[in-house]
Every structure is written in structure tokens, then in C-alpha cells.
Structure 1
């Protein structure tokens, strides 16, 4: 059900005429940023893998549709959606008021908290307050992350944007930033689990920052496509498949209600 397109194939797709919905053969074109382990990443065999890949595959199978999946960098993924290069963003994105005014979204799939990753030897005697006045890394262009950092550490915080989490953690290791801010699932499973890092404090689930949970996004006025995807998601949540994937990739059942 799921066809994986290479980055070069996507580049070709960008040059052709925009799509109005699904492609001519009925396939749903889905873009996903595969640089966000364990959500989505490129494995040792050069294939995309991860929670989001498995979930998309399961939904497409459930609703019996053909899906074409392309690896689209985060900084261009909404442009790809707007221009019709893809029909759906398969990276699970935080549902915020601003985004919901501009795009359609699926039902909420799961919730995350926001946290700060620091080296295991970092002094946490002052908690998160100890990070005030220092440089903080996060994923570039993710407004909810920027708002969280400024809300917790102050509006003048030096925020440094990175294209990938691994690039930010390299700077964390080198001492160029004091912490890397992201969602708790990624931080805990990709980094804390190695024993080399820890969280500066318990993750925050304040809806002011984390929004209404995470979902898939579509162009405005896409009720038919959203309805199909929601039908598949509802079935997988009811069957326990989403919790199964949560346990596989995050060692926890995901909050999906």
C-alpha cells in the first residue's frame, strides 16, 4: 500500500503541475520529514522507518488506498502542501490555533510534552532556571518550540535553530548550547535512553504550548480526504494499533483520546 519515493523523485515532482487532491492514479501523496528519530528516520538500508511510517502504512491499508510517501525536509513541507506537491503532511504536527486557521487537520493522534535535554553531568540544582541566560537549541521553524522556550526561560533567550535533532545534540556535546529543547518522546527514546543525557525537569504538557495534540495536516477544504484518514485512524485507535506502535517506539501507550 505504501510506495516510498526518493528525494530525487520528489525534486522531479516539484517541477510538475500542482495537484488538486490525490494524484491521477488515485494515490495519496504524503510528505514526511524523515530526520526525527524515532518518529521517522532513514535506516541503515536507506529506507524510511519509524513510528510515523508504520502508522501511515497501517492507515493506508485500513482504508484500502494507495499512498506515495516522500521524504520532505521540515522547512519545505508546508510549501509542498500548499503548492500541491503533496496532499498530506505525514509528519505528526502540533495542532495550534494559527495552523488550524490555515490548514485542515486530522483528528488528534497523540499528545506530547515539551522538555529540555542536557548532558548527564549537567548541574540541575536550580532546575530549568539554571538554563536562563544560556543558548538553547531547537528545531528551526517550529514556532511552538520557540514560544515554549521564551515562555519558560524569558523572551530574550538565545535560541539557535537546527535542521535536525542530531545536529543540535552535536552542539550540545560540544558545549555550544546548554540544552536542546524538543518533545519528550523523542528526547527520552532517542537520547535519554542512551544514558548520556537527562531531562532538566519533568516535561510540560501545558496546552498553551503543546496545543491540542499532534495530527496530520492537509490543504484547506479537503473534507473528503480528511474524512478518509480519520476513519482509518479511528479504527486503529479502537483496535489498539496506535498503542501497540507507541509501545514499540516509545515504550509507552500514547495518549490518543
Structure 2
């Protein structure tokens, strides 16, 4: 009898210990579902992904995409807005569940974070002032002052590209790309390095002020939404990944790309191994 009671007690104790671990693994998804809210961190100065429109409304591809992700998960989306250099630290501090950004998928970032299914290409190009005939191709930025966002992949690629030119470029870092565009329009810098989708959007909206320098100079890359690699977060990220892939398959993501970029992109279902 004592042996049987001991076995029952041991079994009960083992189950009690395992249950918190099982629940713990589902914490992020369970928490979001229970609260009915998915918290998303981003900056709002990265058109056409995230920006504040003329009416003062937060808009862009990310807003539309996360509205669809929220529908798939059955939750509302709550945005947490802050400068880009504070977004990833905010994710690690648990201020929100995922980062919209989006961010270029790089080797350094994939070592630390999990990227969801890419939502667009992120190959880098230069934006110049309209009528600046001194820049006809990417190599023409040699020896010039180029702006880019602080702590961005675009800045890193511009610096690396500049080192391959006869005269290295100078770089100026900006908290947000809008400030870089303003300096470019005012003639304080010669070009802005950003992803091709971003600068194509800016040039399309302000064709009398800006022009794209073709072809892009960066290596082919992709944009993706970001989560942590914590075990607790994986069920939530798995559910979001499935939602994005579903949006690709049924055409919703392509419609959003067409809406915000004027073109669609072929992107892999799983974040690829980055080239840089």
C-alpha cells in the first residue's frame, strides 16, 4: 500500500512539475489570445511600410499586413511607436510581442532574432535630388556625403559599398529617414541609401524633388518581421508565420505589395539564409 501511495504521489508530483513547463512553452500565444491584443513595436518614419500620413494617421503596408495577421489570430493589434534604434532593445525588454519594422534579414540579426516569412525585397539603392546630373549611376556617389538611418542595414551596406569606390563616401546617420530626405531636398547631402521599395515610393510621391539612382547597388535581400528566439515566444511566432504564408497563398500579401509599392515580389515562405 505504501509503495502504491508513493508511486501515486511521485506521479502526481511529476505531472505537477511538467504542467507549468507545458504551459510555459505556450505562454506568448496563450497570453496574446487571452488578452485579445498583439503588441507590435515599430518606428513610423519608414514609408511605405510605416509612416504618418497627411491626416496624422499611422498607415502603410505594415499596418495593413498586421490587421490581416490580427484577424487570423483573432486578436486586435496595438502599436508601440519609438525610434528605430530603440525598437530591437524594446523587443528584448518585452515591451511588445513582435517588431514590424520590417528589418533587412542579415546574418548578424538572424544569430540573435527570429525572422518571419519575408514580406518584400530589401535590396539597397540610392535616392538623389532631381536634376543632379553628377550622379547617374551608383559609382557616382564616390567621395560624396550619403545619408542613411542610424543602426540600419542600409547604412552598413552603404559604408561597405563606399569602400569599394575610388574615393570612399562619407556617411551621415539619421534617427529617421524622413530627416535624411529633408536634408537631401535641401542639398545638405548628395544621396540617401535605403531599400529600393522605400526610395521608389518616395520618388513616386515627390517626382519633382527626388529620383532613383539605378541599378540598386546592394546584394539581394529581404525584409521580415522580427521576434525573439525565446522558447516562450515560438508558438506565437509560429502562428504569425502561418498567417503570413496563408496571406501569400491566397493573394492578400501580393495585393498589399501592389498597393504600396506598385509591384509584387516573389518571396520565400521561410526566411532564407542571408548573404551578408
How does the TM-score come out when normalised to structure 2?
A: 0.78
Residues 115 and 184, structure 1, Cα contact 8 Å, conserved in 2: yes
Inter-partner Cα distance in structure 2 for 1:181 and 1:239:
33
CA distance change for structure 1 residues 126 and 52 in 2, over 3 Å: closer, same or farther? closer
Aligned to 1:187: 199
Q: Which moved more, 1:130-139 or 1:61-70?
A: 61-70
Q: Which of 200, 212, 218 does residue 227 from structure 2 map onto?
A: 218
Q: Which runs of 5+ in 2 are unaligned?
A: 1-26, 269-276
2:183 is the alignment partner of 1:171: yes
- Contact 1:113–1:183 at 8 Å: present in 2 too? yes
Show the counterpart of 2:214: 201
Partner of residue 158, structure 1: 170
Alignment of 1:230-249 (within 5 A): 230-249=241-260
- Report the RMSD for the aligned CA atoms in angstroms: 2.0
| Cα offset, 1:247, TM superposition | 1.0
Runs of 4+ in 1 over 6 A off after TM superposition: none
Structure 1 CA distance, aligned partners of 2:70 and 2:126?
34
Secondary structure, counterpart of 2:121 in structure 1: coil
C-alpha spacing 1:237/1:205, structure 2 compared with 1 (3 Å): farther
Aligned 8 A contact 1:128 1:200 in 2: yes
- The structure whose residues are more often helix, as a share, is 2
Kept in 2: contact 1:132–1:154 (CA 8 A)? no
Tell me if 1:70 matches 2:83: no
Pairs aligned (count): 233
Within-5 A mapping of 1:25-36: 25-36=35-46
Work out whether residues 36 and 74 of structure 2, in 8 Å CA contact, stay in contact via their aligned partners in 1: no
- The 1-side partners of 2:118 and 2:64 are apart by 17
Q: How big is the shift at 1:124?
A: 4.5
- Deviation of 1:46 (Å): 2.8
* Separation (CA, whole Å) in 2 of partners of 1:168 and 1:26: 38
1:136–1:160 contact (8 Å) kept in structure 2:
yes
- Rounded Cα–Cα distance in structure 1 between residues aligned with 2:265 and 2:100: 17
Contact 1:242-1:254 within 8 A present in 2 as well: no
Change (3 A) 1:198 1:45: closer
Q: Does the 8 A contact of 2:185 with 2:210 survive in 1? A: no
In structure 2, the partner of 1:16 is: none
- Give the structure with higher Rg (CA): 2
Q: Please, which of 126, 129, 148 is the counterpart of residue 138 of structure 1? A: 148
187-196 or 102-111, which deviates more: 187-196
**TM-score, structure 1 as length reference:** 0.83
Distance 1:51-1:133 versus aligned 2 partners, 3 A rule? same
- Residue 85 of structure 1 pairs with residue 104 of structure 2: no
For 2:128, the equivalent position in structure 1 comes to 118
2:55 corresponds to 1:41: no
Change (3 A) 1:199 1:46: closer
